[in-house]
Structure 1
């Protein structure tokens, strides 16, 4: 029975403890985020959907400003030191928001809600980016294909548990208390990160030097380099530039869906509680769908059909979804499409996309990934928001959005196939010459 369970979850005996710690780590991060997300969505809409487009621009600017600071930390500090500073900073920020809500409630208004919207968006990007960067640094490519999907289950469970916990505690403790609870989960995640990095990878029997062996990392070693090296590396490498393009298209598509949802929910009425309830319901349906896919499909999919096809599944889902939404155009159709989009994104595409970084240098895992997953992603949000707004002003509705989304999805799918194949070539190159790992320059 134990052997069957290990085979089903794609985890060997010596990998069980680090994978379990990673699952709990991601659970705590998503719990911290999802405790607060429905309120973020509702606060952002207080002055209308058009202002949300400007909040996207503000988020992109803030991520651009924060990136060199994060790059400086990566260059000057040990791995767990810069990870700790990142998580502690956001935890203290939550405590700061709590103190403002408790000591100066008169300061809470539309402007403070907008500040929280931008801050939460940056918080969301950085804490998840750091998590996946550590996973790519801790596990090999072959391991990532086998159980990144399983690790993502922890995040989905946290995304389900967070809203439920908020619904149980908001009334007896008050909404401000949720900020402290979120900070507590973030600090617990940091503790689990320390435990995970203290478990040094052990060679797999008969697999020493192969892609099955987890990379050994010197915790005292500094990554070094320039604070802006992540930005420069993206434009020197076709591979990293391809990942950036994939992420931009992902963000544009997600933003198209996001603003379509805002408009349909806004049409239901101006009541803040009603909007928050609808956003929470959509999140719950999405998370349950995601959990089913992660538990039954994701871990086996990458191993059997490969990363290229796995990465292409989301573009195909998006193409079909926009065609269906243009034909039907109802809130129910949108909820079904968004649930399918997010489920495939989180359960299948996200673990596959994170495996792309397992063949990059350690500097690229943290610096280039930070630039791509924060500023590049938010730039895609801005492009998507402005483009969707322009199409809406033409008065063509969902048909106009679909006319852009469908051809873009085809380009996205082709890019997914190229990235997956290039990853395999880089992995084979590294295995054949382990003493000279690819720096990805020109790759």
Structure 2
């Protein structure tokens, strides 16, 4: 069994428990999210595509306001406590939406749907950010290369299971009940988080070992100011590089997202039809992701390195937008989105999360929170406005591709630089520089 787990999953016997808990954790997180995502898309589209562009801006503003609050929690509370507080807050928010939908259904309309759209977008960012922050804190760079792809499989299974479960429960229980089910999975995810944090590395860990992270005292406070994450990003070229990488990712994903909205909107105004189509696209995307994770993700990053793995998504985006500009059909869009999301979630996301394994604990939670929430949503806003401007000028998919192609080239070059910089930071320092910080500020 030991040899089998090492050969198939790159997991040693002493790592099986924390990795299994991490898989369960991500499964519950994505199940909780994907139960509600198709409804979010359909509700947001009720006000029209232009309204969705403004909802992106509203989401960016809300994430900016929440970031210092989250930074304060990280500074003042132990790790498990602020993780628990974050998940409990969003769980309580789900219960409030459930009570509104059941006790006062008459208030549900375009405005309420838009509020839910913004809230869900913030919910989506923060609970996945906290998950990956804990992964970067709990596992080393070497471990991340070996099994972050395997952990991502748990999320993909949850992303497939969530829409399926929603389709089975929506009719007999009603749509509001899905919020309760989502809350339940969120609490199960929190239990898994506690298990991961409590399963400390083996005591035989040696200082400087590249394959094991140091044990963490759960009573220890990270400290620092609430705004330290923002300041750290602009002091570190490495963190700033990650931020720029995420901005370009968000712009590309937003170009693809609004292309999907426009094509689905052209099918008709029926809410159920749109929800069903969004669910079908999500299902196809998640199945493609699972196949890629099962076939290549487990060994790719370890063999070709973080740099090339990060560069695969820019290459996919460049080829996809060129193909979409040439063909321009819904089938081509679904094919492109399935490939883009599969590479993003199966390959790029685990590789990107390993970038944080060489940063300080404060950066893992505070700077990562700022980058994965506000910076990402800032990229969404830029992408939405640029795509909207091209549309208002009467320029079609060819114009979007003409913007996306050079951006993808810059994105790929940045991916290679980030991978090389990570290797340099992770390399053992000579004795004369042992006291220097790991990241150039």
TM-score by length of 2: 0.98
Give how far 1:161 is off: 0.3
Alignment correspondent of 1:71: 71
Alignment correspondent of 2:297: 298
What is the 5 A alignment of 1:325-364? 325-364=324-363
- Give the aligned length: 441
Give how far 1:294 is off: 1.0
Alignment correspondent of 1:29: 29
Take 1:114 and 1:275, find their aligned partners in 2: how far apart are those partners?
A: 16
Cα deviations by residue, 1:190-233 (Å, 9 ceiling, x for unpaired): 0110011111101568x763110122111111000000000000
Cα deviations by residue, 1:7-61 (Å, 9 ceiling, x for unpaired): 1200001000100000000000000000000000000000110000000000000
| Change in CA separation of 1:433 and 1:92 when aligned onto 2, cut-off 3 Å | farther
Cα deviations by residue, 1:134-183 (Å, 9 ceiling, x for unpaired): 00000000000000000000000000000000000011111000001101
| Change in CA separation of 1:373 and 1:433 when aligned onto 2, cut-off 3 Å | farther
| Change in CA separation of 1:346 and 1:101 when aligned onto 2, cut-off 3 Å | same
| Change in CA separation of 1:268 and 1:437 when aligned onto 2, cut-off 3 Å | farther
| Change in CA separation of 1:166 and 1:236 when aligned onto 2, cut-off 3 Å | same
Conservation of the 8 A alpha-carbon contact between 1:210 and 1:431: no
Take 1:129 and 1:216, find their aligned partners in 2: how far apart are those partners?
A: 21
Take 1:202 and 1:435, find their aligned partners in 2: how far apart are those partners?
A: 25
Alignment correspondent of 2:179: 179
Alignment correspondent of 2:86: 86
What is the 5 A alignment of 1:205-244? 209-244=208-243
Give how far 1:395 is off: 1.3
What is the 5 A alignment of 1:42-441? 42-202=42-202, 209-429=208-428, 436=435, 438-441=437-440
The gaps in structure 2 that reach 5 residues or longer are: none
SS of structure 2 residue aligned to 1:438: coil
Take 1:314 and 1:204, find their aligned partners in 2: how far apart are those partners?
A: 38
Conservation of the 8 A alpha-carbon contact between 2:32 and 2:186: yes
Give how far 1:432 is off: 6.8
Take 1:252 and 1:431, find their aligned partners in 2: how far apart are those partners?
A: 40
Alignment correspondent of 2:40: 40
Take 1:213 and 1:437, find their aligned partners in 2: how far apart are those partners?
A: 21
Take 1:433 and 1:242, find their aligned partners in 2: how far apart are those partners?
A: 27
Conservation of the 8 A alpha-carbon contact between 2:145 and 2:301: yes
Conservation of the 8 A alpha-carbon contact between 1:290 and 1:346: yes
CA-atom RMSD in angstroms: 1.4
Conservation of the 8 A alpha-carbon contact between 2:2 and 2:12: no
Give how far 1:434 is off: 10
Conservation of the 8 A alpha-carbon contact between 2:290 and 2:346: yes
Take 1:100 and 1:430, find their aligned partners in 2: how far apart are those partners?
A: 57
Conservation of the 8 A alpha-carbon contact between 2:67 and 2:370: yes
Cα deviations by residue, 1:420-440 (Å, 9 ceiling, x for unpaired): 000000001469789647352
Conservation of the 8 A alpha-carbon contact between 1:325 and 1:333: yes
SS of structure 2 residue aligned to 1:85: helix
Take 2:107 and 2:271, find their aligned partners in 1: how far apart are those partners?
A: 19
SS of structure 2 residue aligned to 1:6: helix
Give how far 1:295 is off: 1.6
Conservation of the 8 A alpha-carbon contact between 1:361 and 1:438: no
Take 1:213 and 1:203, find their aligned partners in 2: how far apart are those partners?
A: 10
TM-score by length of 1: 0.97
The gaps in structure 1 that reach 5 residues or longer are: none
Take 1:113 and 1:97, find their aligned partners in 2: how far apart are those partners?
A: 11
SS of structure 1 residue aligned to 2:252: helix
Which piece of structure 1 moves more, 291-300 or 233-242? 291-300
Pair 1:3-2:3 in alignment: yes
